[in-house]
Amino acid sequence: MTSKAIIALVLSLSGNPTNEEARILDAFAMQESSRAARGIHVPGDGGKAWGICQFQKSRWKECGGDPKLYGKASAKYQAKIMLKALRKYTRKSRWGTLTVTQKIIVAGRNHNIGHCKKSQKNKHYSYTRSVLKYYMDQTE
């Protein structure tokens, strides 16, 4: 999928997604699956994660994904769940109103590392930098 296709997909969802949210989701999709270059059902993390934004099953359910659709949901449904996840991740921030950079940091920490052991927490810095770079590249 192209960046424009993912952004258009997100903007077509109910719940009034913003252009900023669509671009953030696109940046996560690029980081997680190269925007589904190998298909929307691509496995990752040694088979522990799946899809455009590489959800693990527990995180998928936690963010409102139907367990029956895990591993086989449409791109639109995956985007809907990732939008819910982004909103959930950033809603619980103690910073109040967040800048785009802060949203990406908080969402990156929660989406990629929120389920990991303490010893793996440093991985999120390079992950988050990559997501932020993909977001910034969209504006150039």
Span between the terminal Cα atoms of the chain, in Å: 20
**d(Cα 1, Cα 5) in Å, to the nearest integer?**
6
Of 47, 14, 46, 9, give the one whose Cα is nearest residue 29. Answer: 9
Q: In the prediction, which pLDDT does 140 show?
A: 55
Of 111, 67, 70, give the one whose Cα is nearest residue 92. Answer: 111
Output phi, psi for 83, to 5 deg: -60, -45
- Model pTM score: 0.85
Q: Is the pLDDT of residue 69 over 60?
A: yes
| Kind plus residue range of the DSSP H or E element containing 138 | helix 123-139
Q: Are 131 and 104 in contact (CB under 8 A)?
A: yes
Mean predicted confidence (pLDDT) in 14-29: 91
For 50, the 3-state DSSP assignment is strand
For 38, the 3-state DSSP assignment is coil
Q: In the prediction, which pLDDT does 115 show?
A: 47
Average pLDDT, the chain: 84
Q: How confident is the model at residue 124 (pLDDT cuts 50, 70, 90)?
A: low
pLDDT 10s digits, 22-65: 999 999 999 988 887 777 888 888 888 899 999 999 999 999 99
Which CATH architecture does the domain made up of 3-139 adopt? Orthogonal Bundle (1.10)
Q: In the prediction, which pLDDT does 125 show?
A: 72
Is pLDDT larger for residue 106 or for residue 116?
106
Q: In the prediction, which pLDDT does 94 show?
A: 66
Q: In the prediction, which pLDDT does 123 show?
A: 59
